[in-house]
């Protein structure tokens, strides 16, 4: 998938996220926003998988350690969802690690626990 296609899907993700936030408001559980965003993306004909396990290798050995991507859009974009007071550096590091582990170029960290979603919508890139 090229940059233009990724950017087009990014716009759809932002719009879908804003729609969910307007409909549901802040203050709910992360799992609620996840289910709603999956539905909203599917309504827009976007392929999305939830709770996708990432295999973890260490020194060439597959370890029995579960990392899970909240949402994996079009098999290219990682979305990590939060419903927290503030985004901490550890939340950003989590998404950056997922991008590196999967060798994907684009990810979003979305915090739904904000009055205005644009203040909770963060884009991260990995060799984009």
Q: Which domain holds residue 20?
A: 3-125
Q: What is the CATH number of the domain that holds 43?
A: 3.40.1350
**pLDDT recorded at residue 84:** 97
Q: How far apart are the first and last CA of the chain?
A: 11
- Global pTM reads 0.94
Per-residue pLDDT at 34 exceeds 80: yes
Number of continuous H segments (helices) and E segments (strands) in the chain? 3, 5
pLDDT digits (tens, 9 = 90+) for 104-127: 999 999 999 999 999 999 999 998
pLDDT digits (tens, 9 = 90+) for 39-59: 999 999 999 999 999 988 889
State the number of CA atoms in the 13 A half-sphere of 63 facing the CB: 8
The total domain count for the chain is 1
Task: Quickly state the pLDDT bin for 70 (edges 50, 70, 90).
Answer: very high
Sheet with 121-125: list strands edge to edge: 48-58, 61-73, 77-82, 106-111, 121-125
């Amino acid at each position: 998938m090229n940059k233009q296609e990724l950017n087009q899907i990014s716009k759809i993700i932002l719009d879908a996220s804003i729609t969910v936030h307007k409909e549901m408001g802040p203050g709910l559980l992360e799992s609620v926003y996840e289910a709603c965003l999956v539905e909203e993306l599917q309504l827009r004909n976007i392929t999305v998988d939830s709770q996708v396990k990432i295999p973890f290798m260490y020194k060439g050995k597959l370890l029995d350690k579960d990392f899970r991507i909240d949402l994996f859009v079009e098999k290219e974009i990682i979305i990590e969802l939060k419903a927290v007071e503030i985004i901490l550096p550890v939340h950003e590091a989590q998404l950056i690690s997922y991008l590196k582990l999967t060798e994907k170029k684009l990810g979003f960290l979305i915090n739904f626990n904000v009055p205005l979603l644009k203040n909770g919508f963060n884009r991260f890139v990995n060799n984009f």
